Copies of this chain bind each other. A is one copy, B any other.
Amino acid sequence: MIAVLRLGHRVERDKRLTTHVGLVARAFGAEIMYYTGDRDETVERTIDEVVRRWGGSFRADYVESWRNLLKQWPGKKIHLTVYGLPLRKVIDEVKALYIRGEQLLVVVGGEKVEGGVFRLADFNVAITSQPHSEAAALAVFLDWLQEGRELERVYDDARILVEPSERGKKIFKR
């Protein structure tokens, strides 16, 4: 089981970025995105609407304290940060934990990440050592973790289905 924690959401400024982190979490096989910072019903509603149409049971849940969530988390915590160890160095170890059935919490930052996150994480992992995007870092990490198996996932309860196509849009609604 994979969960995601998005830190330090700010209403308005981060609305679309946090929504993207949530949609990436869902599309790449996580079950839930927790988020801290400002509670934002727009983000939660947008994600609910995607789930209703595209299937599955993913959801976004606000939590007050990242510290409590990290301290109480029953499995391993992986913090994605430019300051961490290279993905290639840690991925085999994390993959082994995942295959063994550990519950993984993947943490991605907002603007400033407090030192406690680095200390409470079991792994601090860098997806390149360059600044870019938390949605992108999350996607690449989850893709390596699951070796691309997540890319072809189909949702049985989807109301919208895409039929892959060389050119053009083939979409079914039911």
Contacts and interface: CB of A to CB of B under 8 A. Distances in A.
Contact of A135 (B54, B118, B136, B153): B136
Interface residues on A, range: 35 or more
Contacts of A126: 162, 164
A129 interface: yes
A130 B84 contact: no
A128 B87 CA distance: 21
B85 A164 contact: yes
A139 interface: yes
A118 B27 contact: no
15 contacts: A13-B16, A16-B17, A20-B135, A28-B128, A54-B130, A83-B162, A83-B169, A84-B165, A86-B151, A89-B164, A130-B153, A132-B135, A133-B133, A136-B138, A140-B143
